[in-house]
């Protein structure tokens, strides 16, 4: 049975008479206030509220267990059984503001972590035999909880053995690479005879080093677990409930909200990435255009960070750490290097070295060049938009829509034959800007429908009758193009104004979130400092009535990439809101109508099938999918090194896949931009890096061929009409 809206609204207006009873003196005393406010706000404001019943309770219970022990390293089945007695009662306890289950879980969690530390110390004292064969399953969802402490200890033996052979293999292969490099320098005459060399180590010495580094890492990890506050556990408990509504509804403690505001405000952890907790991991939510991670192109959205290594230290296992503690390890002085061990969406584990730097914000802004491939497509305008930024993010106050308009005007001055708008990996942003930007390519009309809960959708329309570009247009997207990017792509696709080119689909985030200060619920209490609830209140719908939620936007022309066989984006989240549709609205345009998308797709598919690079990409995508599905690994040293060698040999074929320049592709900066680019050496260098990356982009090569097909078919159609 859910709370009644009328009761809630009445109480909210008059304030709760009983709230004075909860004059919060400590964090723990605030918990009933927080729980009550969260559940009430979700009931009244969430786009799709849930019934708070036994089904809800069961799901929340499973979510909470996953958040506290997703890899099944702490709890035994007996302890899970103790907690399972409450599996059907979490809904009742939430309504009664009871924390009987949560209190019991805190005790069991703390005791199980202390036991794990004791087990760890015992195993280290016993010694680890790395030679004996065996395997370990690392996917928590495929594991069962240990039946007893002895079985748990056996699993820890496997975990530590896997960790040790992993570290030892890394140290041995690192020394082998060093020997090879020194030999190459000697043979080429580049070696410095006076250079001081570290002595080579035996395998046993390297094993001791690996064991010492592992021990240091685990001791730091257990120390961090000891500092896990009740408030941290409480936040996980709350989010076990909020995430049942949808993955974007979150409770933020006051400290977490402060950290969120810092991250959104541009202080971006020293590497230019936004992070969030996911179960026991730290997840990369977005890569900030212009930042060190963006430039390196190795760290990606949805990567899970498992360890952090300073340039002069050993890796620290950060699974289970609080986000703010992880951030402190990743942050650092400009010019220093941090090495992140990450688990990719395909399941592979890689080390990503990033040189910390200040985020170069101008790299995130719109910019353009002229592209030519002789005898294919010439004088084509290309505009890159890494994010939808608003006026407050830029010193001169311009929004991204205004900046795109300026780039279009600059390209129009060159009388370009076509334009490319690149929204790949653009995570979205300002709704107003995406409406204004879409309107640059049509006279006027609806762009997107936004539907609040229980009300009719309302339209965001382009009301400017001026058309700023009326020629052939391609919009490039990929699986990380989200939110505002999807709105623009969907609108121009529905209007048949542009050809959308990209991966299987865009991200699929078609919902709108708002922050609600939980203190608002208790109007007669001051400075409670309860935190905030980020809550999904609205949903986006296309002008054709379909949602961008979950399904995203399916491009008119699909080009394979490394994620071709892997589900990414919104559909990869637990409890993601479903796709739905509403009534379409009237829309039309007669500026430049694309009526032959099927033919364009067919011609592109024929080229892609004959392209060796795209064939390699598909082959690599299949390899990555197989790696993702593989979750059981060898732990005997010989078997493990053979496994690593085999995987490295498999990957070797694809190592230089995007290293070659596209044959015939010529890219030129606009003359009008030369003063800005040449203002200082850093801008010159960043522009050079950007151009060089574009010159190797085989997706742009195919888009140039698509533009050639568009112009050719459009000209033929015009000739037929004239006859």
- 170, 171, 201, 202, 363 from 176: Cα distances, Å: 10, 9, 11, 12, 38
**In the numeric block, which tokens belong to residue 164?**
């040790």
Cα angle: 85, vertex 86, 89; to 5 degrees: 135
Give the pLDDT mean for 511-531: 89
- List, for residues 78-114, the tens digit of each pLDDT value: 999 999 999 999 999 999 999 999 999 999 999 999 9
267-358: CATH class? mainly beta
- List, for residues 582-620, the tens digit of each pLDDT value: 999 999 999 999 999 999 999 999 999 999 999 999 999
Q: How far apart are CA 520 and CA 12, in angstroms?
A: 8
- List, for residues 271-289, the tens digit of each pLDDT value: 878 787 776 778 887 787 6
**In the numeric block, which tokens belong to residue 576?**
């993601």
**In the numeric block, which tokens belong to residue 293?**
């991670």
Nearest to 115 by CA among 62, 156, 83, 65: 156
pLDDT computed for residue 368 by the predictor: 97
- Please enumerate in sequence order all residues whose Cβ is within 8 A of that of 375, keeping only pairs 6 or more positions apart, or say none: 664
pLDDT computed for residue 95 by the predictor: 93
pLDDT computed for residue 395 by the predictor: 58
pLDDT computed for residue 260 by the predictor: 59
- List, for residues 13-36, the tens digit of each pLDDT value: 333 333 334 444 477 889 999 999
Residue 9 confidence (pLDDT) above 70:
no
Cα angle: 532, vertex 533, 536; to 5 degrees: 150
Q: How far apart are CA 139 and CA 473, in angstroms?
A: 44
Q: In terms of DSSP bridges, do strands 273-278 and 281-287 run parallel, antiparallel, or are they unpaired?
A: antiparallel
| pLDDT band, very low/low/confident/very high, at 394 (cuts 50, 70, 90) | low
| pLDDT band, very low/low/confident/very high, at 715 (cuts 50, 70, 90) | low
| pLDDT band, very low/low/confident/very high, at 357 (cuts 50, 70, 90) | confident
Q: What are phi and psi of 655, to 5 degrees?
A: -60, -40
pLDDT computed for residue 261 by the predictor: 55
- List, for residues 458-498, the tens digit of each pLDDT value: 999 998 899 999 999 999 999 999 999 999 999 999 999 99
pLDDT computed for residue 12 by the predictor: 42
Q: Which long-range contacts (CB under 8 A, 24 or more apart) does 256-259 make?
A: 256/323, 256/324, 256/531, 257/515, 257/531, 257/532, 259/323, 259/324, 259/327
Percent with pLDDT over 90 in the chain? 66
What's the sign of the alpha-carbon dihedral 71, 353, 316, 197? positive
Q: How far apart are CA 387 and CA 156, in angstroms?
A: 44
- 64, 218, 698 from 145: Cα distances, Å: 15, 21, 47
Residues in the chain: 723
Name the more confident of 345 and 411. Answer: 411
pLDDT computed for residue 15 by the predictor: 37
- List, for residues 147-198, the tens digit of each pLDDT value: 999 999 999 999 999 999 999 998 898 888 888 888 887 878 777 776 677 7
Give the 3-state secondary structure percentages of the chain, helix then strand then coil, rounded to 5.
Answer: 50, 15, 35
| pLDDT band, very low/low/confident/very high, at 721 (cuts 50, 70, 90) | low
Residue 266 confidence (pLDDT) above 50:
no
Name the more confident of 223 and 539. Answer: 539
254 near 531, Cβ under 8 Å? Answer: yes
Q: How far apart are CA 362 and CA 654, in angstroms?
A: 32
| pLDDT band, very low/low/confident/very high, at 361 (cuts 50, 70, 90) | low
**In the numeric block, which tokens belong to residue 301?**
């959205």
Q: How many H-runs (helices) and E-runs (strands) does the chain carry?
A: 21, 20
Place of tokens 């009430």: 40
pLDDT computed for residue 268 by the predictor: 44
Nearest to 534 by CA among 241, 324, 247, 248: 248
Task: Count Cβ atoms within 10 A of the Cβ of residue 264 and give its class: 0-12 exposed, 13-18 middle, 19 or more buried.
Answer: exposed
361-722: CATH class? alpha beta
Percent with pLDDT over 70 in the chain? 90
The answer to which of 327-341, 414-428, 472-486, 611-625 has the lowest mean pLDDT is: 327-341
Q: In the predicted model, what is the mean pLDDT of the chain?
A: 88
First to last CA, the chain: 70
Q: Show which residues are catalytic.
A: 483, 494, 509
Q: How far is CA 547 from the centre of its chain?
A: 21
Q: What is the residue extent of each domain of the chain?
A: 47-189+201-245, 267-358, 361-722
Question: Any idea what DSSP says for residue 519?
Answer: G
| pLDDT band, very low/low/confident/very high, at 561 (cuts 50, 70, 90) | very high
Give the pLDDT mean for 111-135: 96
């Amino acid at each position: 049975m859910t709370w009644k809206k009328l009761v809630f609204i009445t109480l909210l207006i008059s304030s709760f008479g009983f709230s004075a009873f909860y004059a919060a003196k400590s964090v723990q005393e605030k918990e009933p206030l927080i729980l009550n406010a969260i559940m009430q706000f979700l009931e009244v404001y969430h786009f799709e509220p849930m019934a708070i019943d036994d089904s809800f309770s069961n799901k929340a219970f499973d979510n909470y267990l996953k958040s506290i022990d997703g890899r099944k390293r702490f709890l035994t089945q007996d302890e899970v059984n103790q907690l399972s007695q409450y599996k059907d009662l979490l809904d009742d306890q939430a309504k009664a503001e009871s924390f009987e289950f949560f209190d019991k879980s805190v005790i069991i969690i703390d005791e199980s972590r202390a036991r794990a530390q004791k087990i760890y110390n015992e195993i280290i004292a016993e010694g680890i035999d790395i030679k004996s064969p065996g395997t370990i399953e690392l996917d928590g969802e495929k594991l069962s909880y240990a039946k007893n402490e002895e079985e748990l200890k056996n699993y820890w033996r496997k975990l530590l053995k896997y960790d040790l052979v992993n570290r030892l293999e890394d140290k041995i292969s690192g020394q082998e690479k060093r020997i090879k490099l020194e030999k190459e320098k000697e043979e080429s005459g580049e070696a410095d005879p006076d250079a001081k060399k570290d002595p080579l180590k035996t395998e046993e010495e390297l094993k001791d080093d690996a064991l010492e580094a592992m021990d240091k890492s685990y001791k730091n990890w257990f120390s961090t677990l000891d500092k896990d506050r009740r408030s941290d556990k409480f936040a996980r408990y709350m989010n076990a409930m909020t995430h049942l509504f949808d993955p974007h509804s979150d409770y933020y403690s006051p400290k977490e909200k402060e950290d969120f505001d810092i991250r959104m405000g541009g202080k971006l952890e020293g590497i230019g990435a936004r992070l969030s907790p996911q179960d026991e991991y730290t997840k990369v939510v977005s890569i900030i255009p212009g930042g060190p991670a963006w430039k390196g192109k190795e760290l990606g959205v949805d990567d899970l960070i498992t360890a952090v290594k300073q340039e002069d230290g050993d890796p620290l296992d950060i699974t289970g750490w609080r986000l703010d503690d992880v951030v402190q390890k990743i942050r650092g002085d400009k010019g220093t290097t941090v090495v992140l061990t990450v688990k990719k969406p395909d399941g592979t584990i890689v080390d990503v070295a990033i040189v910390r730097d200040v985020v170069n914000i101008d790299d995130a802004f719109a910019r353009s060049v002229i592209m030519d491939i002789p005898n294919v497509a010439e004088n084509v305008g290309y505009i890159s938009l890494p994010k939808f930024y608003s006026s407050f993010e830029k010193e001169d106050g311009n929004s991204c829509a205004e900046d795109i308009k300026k780039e279009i005007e600059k390209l129009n001055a060159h009388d370009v034959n076509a334009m490319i708008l690149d929204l790949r990996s653009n995570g979205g942003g300002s709704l107003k800007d995406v409406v204004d930007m879409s309107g640059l390519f049509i006279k006027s009309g609806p762009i997107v429908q936004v539907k609040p809960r229980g009300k009719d959708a309302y339209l965001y329309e382009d009301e400017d009758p001026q058309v700023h570009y009326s020629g052939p247009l391609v919009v490039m997207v990929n699986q990380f193009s989200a939110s505002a990017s999807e709105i623009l792509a969907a609108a121009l696709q529905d209007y048949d104004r542009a050809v959308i080119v990209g991966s299987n689909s865009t991200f699929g985030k078609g919902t709108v979130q708002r922050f609600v200060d939980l203190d608002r619920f208790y109007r007669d209490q001051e400075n409670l400092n309860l935190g905030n609830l980020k809550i999904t209140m609205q949903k986006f719908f296309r002008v054709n009535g379909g949602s961008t939620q979950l399904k995203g936007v399916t491009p008119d022309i699909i080009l394979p990439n490394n994620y071709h066989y892997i589900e990414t984006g919104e559909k990869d989240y637990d409890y993601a809101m479903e796709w739905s549709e509403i009534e379409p609205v009237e829309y039309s345009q007669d500026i430049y109508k694309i009526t032959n998308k099927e033919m364009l797709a067919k011609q592109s598919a024929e080229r892609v099938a004959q392209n060796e690079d795209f064939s390699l990409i598909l082959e690599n995508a299949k390899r990555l999918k197989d790696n993702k599905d593989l979750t059981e690994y060898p732990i005997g040293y010989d078997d493990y090194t053979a496994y690593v060698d085999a995987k490295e040999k498999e990957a070797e074929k694809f190592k230089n896949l995007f290293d070659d320049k596209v044959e015939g592709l010529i890219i030129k900066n606009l003359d009008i931009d030369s003063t800005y680019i040449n203002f200082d050496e850093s801008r010159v260098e960043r522009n050079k890096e950007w151009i060089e990356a574009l010159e190797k982009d085989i997706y742009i090569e195919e888009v140039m061929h698509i533009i050639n097909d568009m112009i050719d078919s459009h000209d033929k159609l015009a000739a037929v009409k004239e006859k």
